[in-house]
Structure 1
């Protein structure tokens, strides 16, 4: 029983982290896009910001899939 509870807590922590990463990525990405346009930065910086955001969102997708599979396996 204790092992199952700790596994659920670990999954909840992972899910919370995914939510924070997704929200933070979008806020930072939008801010950097705005800042880049305001300062007149070259387009290559916009692509750099885009790729960094894509990398963070892919990480979030992978971790979300891991959480989903772990919960599916726990239900049997």
Structure 2
């Protein structure tokens, strides 16, 4: 049980880091794109990458939540 809780804690930390890095990277890319007048297709690409990171984090968090509620 303690091993599972340790794994859950590590996965939650990873999800938190992914959320934070995705948000900071997304903000930075949006600023750089506006500053250097990049094409809109690059903004969409960065948006999709950020959404992918957020969805992945949501799925990991949901899986851990379900595992803890079923225990």
TM-score (norm 2): 0.98
Partner of 1:34: 31
Q: Which structure has the bigger radius of gyration?
A: 1
Number of residue pairs aligned between Structure 1 and Structure 2: 71
Give the 5 Å matches for 1:14-33: 14-33=11-30
Task: State the distance in 1 between where 2:21 and 2:68 align.
Answer: 25
Q: Which runs of 5+ in 1 are unaligned?
A: none
Deviations 1:13-50 (A, max 9, x none): 00000100000000000000000100100001000000
Match of 2:51 among 50, 54, 63: 54
Q: Kindly report the root-mean-square deviation, in angstroms, between the aligned alpha carbons of the 2 structures.
A: 0.4
Structure 1 residue ranges (4+ consecutive) displaced by more than 3 angstroms after TM superposition: none
Structure-1-length-normalised TM-score: 0.92
